[in-house]
Amino acid sequence: MTALFEHSPWVEARADARPASGDRHADLMAVLHDATPDEQLALIRAHPELAGKAAIDRTLTDASAAEQASAGLDRLTQQEYDRFHALNAAYRERFDFPFIICVRLTDKAGILAAMEQRLGHGRDEEIATALAQIGEIVRLRLGDMA
């Protein structure tokens, strides 16, 4: 079974403990938005870097590996890999968590452009953006399960 949230089963467990609204995605996102800031950061930090170490040493979850492959991140040139590596490092240095984007809704060029653009954001804006992107990832994963 596909994990909806990377290494964070607590989100689904909390949603399961609440009355269901009939909209699983909305129920899951309500849990995410009701979580403490520390829990939200832990969820964000549970995500792998794009085209990062986990992709190379094959420790990505099956869902993440498939999603990164869908955007071509498993077929990077050395120059592209170096650019991803540099942007991942700059992003992590600035925000202290990995860059998150729903890769299934974009491509390599779009991801790189978003990484560069979002480096100019403030930390609170990036936390909100990361949570919204996680919501899109979960929406697509739920659709895959349907």
Residues marked as catalytic: 47
Task: Tell me the two tokens of residue 55.
Answer: 């992709």
For residue 48, give every residue at least 6 positions away whose Cβ sits within 8 Å of its Cβ, in sequence order, or none.
6, 54, 55, 60, 64, 98
Task: Tell me the two tokens of residue 46.
Answer: 């549970």
Q: Contact at 8 Å (CB) between 3 and 63? A: yes
What distance in Å separates the CA atoms of residue 93 and residue 31, rounded to the nearest whole number? Answer: 28
